[in-house]
Amino acid sequence: MRSETLRRAASLLVVLAAVALVGCGRSAPPANAELKAAIADLEKAVVAAKAEVQRLKDVDDLENLAGIYGHYVDKNRHDDVADLFARDGVVEIYGRGAFLGQDRVREYMHNLSAGSVGPRDGSLFNHMHLQTVIDVQPDGKTAFVRSRPFIMFGIINANAQWGVGGYENVFVKQDGIWKLGY
């Protein structure tokens, strides 16, 4: 995804350069009004390009955040999971309840694994996010992210299971950093 983001950003910059060069190819200097209009058009194009580059960066950050969440859950990094949430973020797990705020998320994560922290010998807990669809809102402070978790977990000589489901999350940007909201 990062290479696609960079490709799009580079394409936008090429377009801006082409627009600037078109104005330079005239044989006679443009009239003052024409020049002001051309400059205004370029300024609008730059603002639009910057907004698109930021949106693409946000999409990349959000996709990484979904993967980081899965990794932290896999490795029983409960405090790190809780830190991914907004101050008033919510975890709602079907059949288990809703947990409001980082402290409650932290408590839920610790209880989920009976207090065990870090990877456990003889266990597998892969929690992958697939088919991620990201919709960053025009305000740049809210995003809707839908993904399908594909989960493999097991404990040697005990049990093993597959799991699938669906996540529909709202992410919020707090202090310039994307966090899980609800």
Residue 63 corresponds to which tokens in the numbers above? 């996709």
**What is the mean predicted confidence (pLDDT) over 124-153?**
92
pLDDT of 129 higher than 70: yes
Amino acid at 148: R
pLDDT value for 118? 73
pLDDT-derived band at 29, boundaries 50, 70, 90: low
Q: Which residue has the higher pLDDT, 2 or 157?
A: 157
Whether the pLDDT of residue 17 is over 60: the answer is no
- Provide the token pair at 57: 């960066």
User: What is the pLDDT of the chain when averaged over all its residues?
Assistant: 85
Reported as a single tens digit per residue, the pLDDT across 109-121 is 888 776 667 777 8
Q: Which residues pair with 146 in a beta bridge?
A: 133, 168
Q: Is 178 helix (H, G, I), strand (E, B) or coil?
A: strand
pLDDT attached to residue 18: 52
Max Cα distance, the chain (Å): 83
Percent of the chain predicted with pLDDT > 90 = 51
User: For 36-70, what is each residue's pLDDT tens digit?
Assistant: 998 999 999 999 999 999 999 999 999 999 999 98
Q: How many CB atoms lie under 10 A from the CB of residue 62?
A: 21
Closest CA to 180 of 85, 88, 111, 112: 85
What is the β-pairing status of strands 123-136 and 97-100? unpaired
pLDDT over 70, % of the chain: 81
Q: In the prediction, which pLDDT does 137 show?
A: 96
Q: Average pLDDT for residues 118-136, to the nearest whole number?
A: 87
Residue type, 144: F
Asked whether residue 139 carries a pLDDT value surpassing 90, the answer given is yes
Pair 50, 140: CB distance under 8 Å: no
Q: Between β-strands 167-174 and 159-164, what pairing exists: parallel, antiparallel or unpaired?
A: unpaired
